[in-house]
Amino acid sequence: MLVQHRFHLLIHFIENLEIRQGHGLFLILPKCTPLKESQCSPVLKKQRKMEEFIENYYNDCKHSKPLMSKEDRLTEIYLQLETEGDYFHTEDELVWAAKTAWRNASRCSGRNLWQTLKVIDKRDAKTGPENI
């Protein structure tokens, strides 16, 4: 039953894809119609924020090589959104987001040190002492 449900979700996801060709690559993107922000469902709002985040991440990380291509990452995230209703940032995305937030904090006098920030990913911690 669970396999059949996941198969149905995957078919639904594939039916709602749009394939574009550019620069010798095929991009697989979800079909979407332009809507005003007020007309968007919560899922579509989350998807748009995710797309903006990923676009900024890959534009800002051109000097360092991300672990997967932007198209592969977007496809992975769309599948997570479709099957789980949410997606999870990679550790590299978390580090980039924390450093970028500090870099862009205009009122912070120490923001010129943003590149030295050490980020520790504790999302797997189950108890209090593990969070320290």
Task: Render pLDDT for 67-104 as a digit per residue (tens, 0 to 9).
Answer: 888 999 999 998 888 888 888 999 999 999 999 989 88
Total count of residues recorded for the chain: 132
**pTM (predicted TM-score):** 0.64
20-24 long-range CB contacts below 8 Å, 24 or more apart?
A: none
For residue 43, pLDDT over 70 is answered with yes
pLDDT at position 1, please?
A: 47
Span 116-127, mean pLDDT? 86
Sign, Cα dihedral of 65, 71, 75, 81: positive
Position 122: which residue type? K
Query: Per the structure block, which two tokens stand in for 53?
Result: 């985040």
pLDDT at position 38, please?
A: 62
Span 12-33, mean pLDDT? 51
